[in-house]
Structure 1
Amino acid sequence: MKKFIQDFKAFATKGNVIDMAVGVVVGGAFGKIVTSLVNDIITPLIGVITGGTSLADKKLVLHAAELAEDGVTVLKPENALTYGMFLQNIIDFLIIALSIFMVIRMIGSIRRRAEEAKKLLHKKQEEEAKQEEPAVPEISSTDQLLIEIRDLLKEKDSTAEEQAKS
């Protein structure tokens, strides 16, 4: 898990062009899913933690709005830092980046496995080629001695037959 986090950190800060290009494509594909995940699942859970308000609605009011006596008409709008939407966008980004990282890591793993399989296949083919070569069996010294005795006996028999014929 530690290596996974280190790899993700390196990926997020490295800015590799190819990885980012893949990220744009995959991010576009995951966009609606991620938005739905954040809006429909994560944000309500954060709302429960933060007291029922949506994360996107979180803000720091610097100056409250001034209303007319009727209580509806806004004379001067409020001035606020709407940090909730910013936090929600950060969550969106992290989910998209994590998804892209997972896809790239999976592709890298598939590439490594393919390379390993290719090397293994090449090694197996080399071994099969070596096995197909006719192997000349080595003859032990005892067998060699017996072969020589046999040949001498054959030679002696053929010489004896020639002498008997003459």
Structure 2
Amino acid sequence: MTCINHRLLRLLAGFCLAALAATTSLAQDAPQRLRSIPLQAGMHVIEAELALTPEQRQIGLMHRRDMPLNHGMLFVFESPQVQCFWMKNTLLPLSIAFIGDDGAVVNITDMKPLDETSHCSQKPVRFVLEMNQGWFAKKGIKAGFKLSGAPWQR
């Protein structure tokens, strides 16, 4: 009797784990939508979703098929470090700006959809802003340009 109970328990545990894995997989295939804040880039207003937790930052803009003009995602880290990003499961071509504690852009690079090449900040930063590819160039935003908004107010 106990042998049968152990087999049954193992079988049920296996089904539960499989169901949990399937649910987790489905949840990860859907784009996340996060709370957003306005940022200022000169006369341009950016509506930036905030990726604050490790899980939010890991998912980022994965699985999105489009993003409105002047919208992006601001990744906020606890401390300045060299930050590196890739485009795993990210369908949109993006431009990424690495931003210092004072709101100044350190460097900007373009990233291709689904490319797993790392794109890194040239120095330690706590903020990273992803926008539709070409957004920064079209607005004349380059290294040294200062963004403003709640993250950089003291």
Give the TM-score category using the shorter length. under 0.3
Q: Over alpha carbons, which structure has the higher Rg?
A: 1
| Higher normalized helix content (fraction of residues) | 1
**TM-score under structure 1 normalisation?**
0.25
| Higher normalized strand content (fraction of residues) | 2
Kindly indicate whether structure 1 or structure 2 has the higher relative contact order, using CA contacts under 8 Å at least 6 residues apart: 2
